[in-house]
Amino acid sequence: MQFLILKNRLMKFLKSTIYILLPLLLLNSCRDYVEVEPVGNNRVLKYTSDYRGLANNYTNLTASGGIYLLANADVEFPTTYQNGVNTIWANSYTWQDRIYDPSQGDSDWIGLYKTVYYSNVILEGVMASEKGTEAEKKEIYAEAFVHRAFAYLQLVNTYGPQFDPTSANSEKAVPLLLKPELFSSLDRSTVGQVYDQIIADLKSALENNIQDSPDFNVLPSKRAVYALLARTYLLMGQYNLSLENAEKALQMQNGLIDFKSLATAYSYPVLIQNPEVIFSKTLLFGYNGAPLSTELLNSFGTDDLRYNYYTVPGTSFYPTFTGRAYAMNTYSPTNGINVGVSVPEMYLIAAECYARSGKITEAVNYLNILRAKRFKSGTAYTVSATTNKEALDLVLTERQKELIGRGFRWFDQRRLNLDPAYQKTYTRVFKGQTYTLAPNSDGYVFPINQNYIDLNPELGK
């Protein structure tokens, strides 16, 4: 019965998703950012239900990039695997200053700016739409701020330098587009300006009374706003604000899956039924199956159930390889690699912020709440610490294991580079050649596709 109710609700959600052809982000003609292509009986947005259909179009709003997944320390290409990867994977894996060939587009950039564009369309038009209540319009309006904020958080941390709380953050990052204009300058805003806009958008969602509990975790919510603020402030090094918002998110949603209760890995809930997911966003499917590093895999103890649930043998993918990869997308194609905010991430953020503020007991308690749901019955799962450094080390280690295979390690590498105690130089051997990634080097900033710079010179300034 519960399944039928969920199925009916999902069908209602999908039926409200009307695929209206809108101006799409193409970036394939000089200074033409988008282009309108009316086809058949498609109409311009007029009614509130049109905007709800656009806001429910998860296919267009979920794209969250993921090129950084291949560059982060979680990933390690076995020697025999290296000859089978394409140039995009190879260039990202070796931290090149050019990722794409002249014939290729940047799917991360296109997908994220598509989300920005759709969000801008909603923000500009929904409040003046017809045949909708004020409450319905404001709900859609508030959701669009969250989608746009998430997209810019991904963009600035892929194509911009790391935010430094001790600097003015005046380095150029990405274009900040806030209107659905057909022709728009692509001048890049600074890191600080992009972060200011992310926070402003999330606060605007709260000010417009975003819903507390949407029917599905693919829709933005108040708890998602708090969780995204927690992530954003963590990346900014503003730990008190990060903790405050992580705690608010956990007050609204704190359920964890007890891995001991799962019969098999295929018992893991699909995305829309996952009690741990606060707001779902997924990496592009093309990044599925990246081999995980031996060091990371060896960090799991024999009693840690996450090894079996979060990883699968490389023989499950093509091309096959010796080793293991992130598992979630193999259980159900609806899962994908979720990089949206989650309950485990909030526990880890809160634990880190407590550790950094000297509250060791609170930090360790949050780690143990999470670990209690991840280990075999009757085994020792608790950790302890006597110093701030010990507590912080435990948190960072736990982040690598709990947030495995999603590329979050890349964002951690970037922000930890600012602390001499955690700076590290990474090396990789690819096809017999050694590549090095030094702390705070240019390799930590993905280059904007040269094709786009050629067509829009302001991107290169």
Domain count, the chain: 1
Would you state the pLDDT for residue 60? Answer: 85
Would you say residue 215 lies in a domain?
A: yes
Specify whether the CB–CB gap between 328 and 111 falls below 8 A.
no
List, in sequence order, every residue forming a beta bridge with 436; answer none if it has no partner: 427
List, in sequence order, every residue forming a beta bridge with 30; answer none if it has no partner: none
pLDDT at 4 over 80: no
Would you say residue 153 lies in a domain?
A: yes
Stretch (H or E) spanning 34? strand 32-35
Specify whether the CB–CB gap between 329 and 265 falls below 8 A.
no
Q: From CA 135, how far away is CA 137, in angstroms rounded? A: 5
Reported as a pLDDT band with limits 50, 70 and 90, residue 331 is confident
Q: From CA 105, how far away is CA 175, in angstroms rounded? A: 17
Nearest to 310 by CA among 401, 380, 407: 401
Would you state the pLDDT for residue 224? Answer: 98
The verdict on whether omega for the bond into residue 78 sits within 30 degrees of 0, i.e. cis, is no
Model pLDDT for residues 260-283, shown as the tens digit of each residue: 999 888 888 888 889 999 999 999
Mean of all residue pLDDT scores within the chain: 90
Model pLDDT for residues 194-228, shown as the tens digit of each residue: 999 999 999 999 999 999 989 899 999 999 999 99
pLDDT at 327 over 60: yes
Q: Which two tokens mark 197?
A: 């806009």
Specify whether the CB–CB gap between 322 and 315 falls below 8 A.
no
Model pLDDT for residues 354-379, shown as the tens digit of each residue: 999 999 999 999 999 999 999 999 99
Reported as a pLDDT band with limits 50, 70 and 90, residue 333 is low
- Among 316-320, 339-343, 408-412, the range scoring the smallest mean pLDDT is 316-320
Between 159 and 337, residue with greater pLDDT: 159
pLDDT at 5 over 60: no
Would you say residue 1 lies in a domain?
A: no
Q: Which two tokens mark 459?
A: 């991107």
Which residue spans within 374-441 are E strands per DSSP?
426-430, 433-437
Between 43 and 302, residue with greater pLDDT: 302
The alpha-carbon radius of gyration of the chain (Å, integer) is 22
Q: Which two tokens mark 78?
A: 């076995």
Report DSSP state, residue 292.
Answer: B
Range of the domain at 278: 8-460
Model pLDDT for residues 410-436, shown as the tens digit of each residue: 999 999 999 999 999 999 999 999 999
Please report, in angstroms and rounded to a whole number, the separation of the first and last CA atoms in the chain: 58
Nearest to 369 by CA among 266, 458, 256: 256
CA 255 to chain CA centroid, Å, is 20
Please enumerate in sequence order all residues whose Cβ is within 8 A of that of 301, keeping only pairs 6 or more positions apart, or say none.
Answer: none
Q: Tokens 């204009």 sit at which residue?
A: 181
Q: From CA 132, how far away is CA 138, in angstroms rounded? A: 10
Would you say residue 2 lies in a domain?
A: no
Would you state the pLDDT for residue 106? Answer: 96
Specify whether the CB–CB gap between 166 and 233 falls below 8 A.
no
Would you state the pLDDT for residue 42? Answer: 53
Question: Half-sphere exposure of 198 toward its Cβ, with a 13 Å CA cutoff?
Answer: 28
Full DSSP string of 240-262? HHHHHHHHHHHHH------GGG-
Would you say residue 286 lies in a domain?
A: yes
Would you say residue 3 lies in a domain?
A: no
Specify whether the CB–CB gap between 314 and 324 falls below 8 A.
yes
Residue 222 belongs to domain with CATH number: 1.25.40.390
Would you state the pLDDT for residue 185? Answer: 85
Q: Is 346 exposed, middle or buried (0-12, 13-18, 19+ CB in 10 A)?
A: buried
Q: Which two tokens mark 76?
A: 């390690």
Model pLDDT for residues 19-65, shown as the tens digit of each residue: 333 333 333 333 333 333 333 345 589 999 999 999 999 888 988 99
Would you say residue 100 lies in a domain?
A: yes
Specify whether the CB–CB gap between 16 and 52 falls below 8 A.
yes
Would you say residue 168 lies in a domain?
A: yes
Would you state the pLDDT for residue 19? Answer: 31
Average pLDDT over every residue of 232-237: 98
